[in-house]
Structure 1
Amino acid sequence: MKKVKRKLGKYEVGRTIGEGTFAKVKFARNTETGENVAIKVLAKSTILKHRMVEQIKREISIMKIVRHPCIVQLHEVLASQTKIYIIQEFVTGGELFDKIVHLGRLSEDEARRYFQQLIDAIAHCHSKGVYHRDLKPENLLLDFQGNLKISDFGLSALPQQGVELLYTTCGTPNYVAPEVLSNRGYDGAAADVWSCGIILYVLMAGYLPFEETDLPTLYTKVRCSNHAFVMC
């Protein structure tokens, strides 16, 4: 007996292709256009329980603002009584992280290409006043042509009137900028650029510049690296 596929408006929903702490990602097809999409499914009860309402609103607002060939595109947002559905571009090439794990360091030409696409997309975000704050190879997807697609704007910040510095400490420890750890405020654009630099290092070397088994030692190394640059 053939399994009847679930419908969500004009979308035919298929298998689960990803699962995180707060959401599932489903593969789906737009029955009107035939286009494949990814649907991020969030339970409203989970959003309320973890007080994520403002974060989800901000992520959706940001994805509507940043339209760029190297950024995963938001198509639309739907909702039922119990769930929120974020319909996004379906990216088929997996994570850049997996490619690095498989190949180790990339060739200089390939690393340059990815880095140029990353910087171009991040410059676009910054021109819109958007700071990603969690740039890492796991959040960089590849399409079927091997082009970079930035994803996961869940920790991103939008500009606030009269506020020049950001104060929330967030991001992935190995990629976070020293000033983010200082608790004295930081420039979101500069913090993103630092993370881009770490990504370039990983692309070229095949390993992280700062990697420790415990966070205090890791953070000390990151802070010391900043002092060394200043001294130079």
Structure 2
Amino acid sequence: MVGIPPGRHGVRSHGFASLGSLSMLADAVLSAHGEYSPCSPALLSTAVESNEGNDVPLIDGFVNLVQVGQGGFSVVYSADEIAFTRRVALKVLKFTGDEARRLEREARALGVLSDIPNIVQVFQITHTNDGRSVLVMALMQEPIARETRRGFQQQLDALVWLDQVAQALDKAHLRGVYHRDIKPENILLAADGSANLVDFGIAGLGGLASGTTTAFSFSPPFAPPERLTGTEVDLRAGDIYSLGSTFYAVFTGSAPFGTTTDGGVHGLITRVVTALPDQPEWMNAPTHAAFLTAMAKDPADRFASASEFAAELRRGIS
């Protein structure tokens, strides 16, 4: 690690829960967090045609379903939409009831953002023949998470993606929509190579935290420390932190503070709250400083906008 620029990134203890109390929080966080994305099966070698032995759902107007991913609450399929002769992504809830409200919340958030480039387009909400809610979306290609897993990412490509997502995120913030779960799996590449933000299932529709997020509905390796400690009040600053941690992973090949496999959930939370991201040997000081500002422990010390972070990172690399 390197020193922190004076007056910018100091770790402040006020507002955070004591480390002793973090074990209670850690017990509530899923140590295995399933991922899902509306991705093209042509680029996902793990795509299967059924949900681990369960029947593929029947949805009027859609045929040739192929599973391309899943998470704790939903399964995503690619499918042919008969009426428009196009391939789409179908996000199908595993359950009925409360989780349907989460999907409706996502559709409502995406409806507000439907004209913003680089945010996945939603076409409609429908239902399976057994009554589960389905979100019909534009079909994307591969997630930038696949680039992360390869351990190498050309910086210029990553900067283009960051510019695209940052501009989309700033426009969403201006409309009062906050993502709250930015991570590599939630940024997908379209056929033209552009980066698109997806999964607004826990989006905040307003400037302050609503208290509706739970340990089951966000990703600890990329979440801001104030969310992990239950002290979040500024959703904009939380999104900027998660954007910084996501692109740190894209640039370096790993999450800034590891995952739950490195010392368990409690160890991860402790690192997020107290540690600073390492500076790889190849990363220059200005680039590292941009990441430090985006991921500052105090939300007030972070960039004022996502685009400001993108511009500062570009200056550091150039």
Q: TM-score, normalised by structure 1?
A: 0.82
Pick from 54, 67, 80: which aligns with 1:29?
Answer: 80
Determine if contact 1:169/1:183 at 8 Å carries over to the other structure.
no
Q: Give the deviation of 1:113 after TM superposition.
A: 0.7
Change (3 A) 1:82 1:125: same
| Number of the residue aligned with 2:121 | 73
Pick from 20, 40, 65: which aligns with 2:71?
Answer: 20
| Number of the residue aligned with 2:103 | 56
Matches within 5 A, 1:7-156: 8-42=59-93, 46-48=95-97, 51-67=98-114, 68-79=116-127, 80=129, 82-91=131-140, 93-102=141-150, 104-156=151-203
| Number of the residue aligned with 1:3 | none
| Number of the residue aligned with 1:164 | 208
Identity of aligned residues (%): 26
Q: TM-score, normalised by structure 2?
A: 0.61
2:219 aligned with 1:175: no
Change (3 A) 1:151 1:230: closer
| Number of the residue aligned with 1:203 | 250
Q: Give the deviation of 1:166 after TM superposition.
A: 4.1
Pick from 224, 241, 265: which aligns with 1:194?
Answer: 241
Unaligned runs of 5+ residues in structure 1 are 1-5
Q: Which has the higher contact order (CA 8 A, sep 6+)?
A: 2
Q: Give the deviation of 1:81 after TM superposition.
A: 5.5
| Number of the residue aligned with 2:312 | none
What is the identity, as a one-letter code, of the residue corresponding to 1:106?
Q
| Number of the residue aligned with 1:213 | 263
Determine if contact 2:237/2:299 at 8 Å carries over to the other structure.
no
For 1:81 and 1:136, the matched residues in 2 are separated by 32
For 2:271 and 2:59, the matched residues in 1 are separated by 49
For 1:83 and 1:47, the matched residues in 2 are separated by 5
Unaligned runs of 5+ residues in structure 2 are 1-56, 277-295, 302-318
Task: Give the 3-state SS of the residue equivalent to 1:134 in structure 2.
Answer: coil
Determine if contact 1:72/1:150 at 8 Å carries over to the other structure.
yes
What is the identity, as a one-letter code, of the residue corresponding to 1:172?
S
Determine if contact 1:71/1:151 at 8 Å carries over to the other structure.
yes
Change (3 A) 1:54 1:8: closer
Change (3 A) 1:227 1:193: closer
What is the identity, as a one-letter code, of the residue corresponding to 2:172?
C
| Greater per-residue strand proportion | 1
Q: Give the deviation of 1:111 after TM superposition.
A: 1.4
Q: Give the deviation of 1:86 after TM superposition.
A: 1.4
Determine if contact 2:238/2:299 at 8 Å carries over to the other structure.
no
Q: Give the deviation of 1:220 after TM superposition.
A: 1.9
Q: Give the deviation of 1:200 after TM superposition.
A: 1.9
Task: Give the 3-state SS of the residue equivalent to 2:148 in structure 1.
Answer: helix
Determine if contact 2:234/2:299 at 8 Å carries over to the other structure.
no
RMSD across aligned positions (CA): 2.6
Task: Give the 3-state SS of the residue equivalent to 2:77 in structure 1.
Answer: strand
Q: Give the deviation of 1:164 after TM superposition.
A: 3.3
